[in-house]
Structure 1
């Protein structure tokens, strides 16, 4: 017994050291929370990609019933404004937005996230052999019945070439980022088959024809255009041939603008959300 106790003590000490190392690794993968009124924010690290990019997530958690906004917030809302200027060893940075949802506000609808979201970020280091310091200042809004301005600040030190870190929370939201697809049919995916002006309505609008694979479903479509283009709520009609027709009103457009207009169509649905970019020939609005 006299000999066993020291061995037991050493084993416990070793276990504690391993546990502390695991805790330190866990802490190193996230920044401290930046807490504000009805919301808090932090950065999450993921493993480095095979191409050497660092994977990071901006996690926002809100009080029950509160929401925040997508890059295009809809009729009302404020898109998040990212400031990465304090970062070091960053040569390029790509914000990858998870597919949002549409929610009703008191005076119309908005587009964003309810309760929580993790926005994935891909960071390309200037020198992949050196660490990256990601520093974020984020101005955003959290809303229930009224909107409250929020500001979060977080920083995260990323060692080069770390591929063993796992972040299930970041990965779950990376899976919600729409897959880029070109117009036309695609096996096993949601797809935009055709898009043009809707001649059946008095107000100007778009008419889309979408493909749904077996067991798939179109839930909503978000349309973005450059500048002052604004689009209304999507109205979906399942067709007998298995396609889905979507009609979307053009709420607002820049005066006098016509010709090929670059548009982004984000389709929310299953098996995975998709994003299609195309130029659509739209004539100038009638005076």
Structure 2
């Protein structure tokens, strides 16, 4: 490259994306965490990621950890100029764990967070204290603390690590068929099976695939691993066994159903009328 070309490249540098700002690593038992910043969203919200790097063979947990896991606990109380936070979870994996399954991430994960400043014209000081668990064969509670200074209106930052995991956050979709994504066409109780549970009729776009289904209910609901039955019309019937539910739970009940698969994971919020448990 000639000196003239180098000079021209330098003059155009401000138009290029800058590297993301990151906090220092906070080391725990068999895991470390840090905060990484992305570009400010058009809405004015700050884009941040909680990056957790795990020792080989270790995993950590999703918001609903499954049969034996421990969900992380976030403490943002030391932050400044923060009016609201939205933690956005990448779709988890399912792991055999003793006599059941746990849900979470192995090796590494970046959990995206949208931060709403109180005053968008002023910087944000983001301070996170995180209690979480890492597990190989035995779960070990660990802690981490990270802080990050976020300048307002920074739109030229690029953060490939954050962007990679933002793409794994489920797209929210209403109950019903959707042409270009995985979708739950129907949801109902499984009243034909001797074991109580839920049934979902799933639709996939061309070349789409359903890999797993995760169901969350309010309180101490527990569901088994979904059984998937491809149908001749291209739909997929998913049966999810109900393992446990809160005592006395009945009537209209909200659930969150996450479909893991391609082209994108999908999250649907729906309500089902649950009959009272038989004595």
Which residue, out of 266, 269, 284, partners 2:261?
A: 269
What corresponds to 2:99 in structure 1? Answer: 107
In structure 1, runs of 5+ residues without a counterpart are: 1-10
Shift of 1:107: 3.0
What corresponds to 2:186 in structure 1? Answer: 194
Alignment partners' CA distance in 2, 1:160 and 1:215? 41
* Alignment pair present for 1:211 and 2:191: no
What corresponds to 1:48 in structure 2? Answer: 40
Alignment partners' CA distance in 2, 1:121 and 1:76? 26
| Cα RMSD, aligned residues only | 1.7
* Alignment pair present for 1:173 and 2:165: yes
Paired residue secondary structure (1:233): coil
What corresponds to 2:212 in structure 1? Answer: 220
What corresponds to 1:89 in structure 2? Answer: 81
Shift of 1:108: 1.6
Moved over 3 A (4+): 25-28
The TM-score, its normalising length taken from structure 1, stands at 0.90
Shift of 1:98: 0.3
What corresponds to 2:142 in structure 1? Answer: 150
Matches within 5 A, 1:53-68: 53-68=45-60
Q: Is the 8 A contact 2:177 2:185 kept in 1?
A: yes
Q: Is the 8 A contact 2:18 2:156 kept in 1?
A: no
What corresponds to 1:241 in structure 2? Answer: 233
Alignment partners' CA distance in 2, 1:254 and 1:139? 26
Alignment partners' CA distance in 2, 1:205 and 1:279? 14
Shift of 1:200: 2.5
Q: Is the 8 A contact 2:131 2:141 kept in 1?
A: yes
Alignment partners' CA distance in 1, 2:97 and 2:270? 30
Alignment partners' CA distance in 1, 2:157 and 2:204? 36
Q: Is the 8 A contact 1:106 1:145 kept in 2?
A: no
What corresponds to 1:6 in structure 2? Answer: none
Higher-Rg member (1/2):
1
Shift of 1:28: 7.0
What corresponds to 2:272 in structure 1? Answer: 280
Closer, same or farther: CA 27–85 of 1 in aligned 2, 3 Å: farther
Between 118-127 and 193-202, report the one with greater CA deviation. 193-202
What corresponds to 1:130 in structure 2? Answer: 122
Between 111-120 and 199-208, report the one with greater CA deviation. 199-208
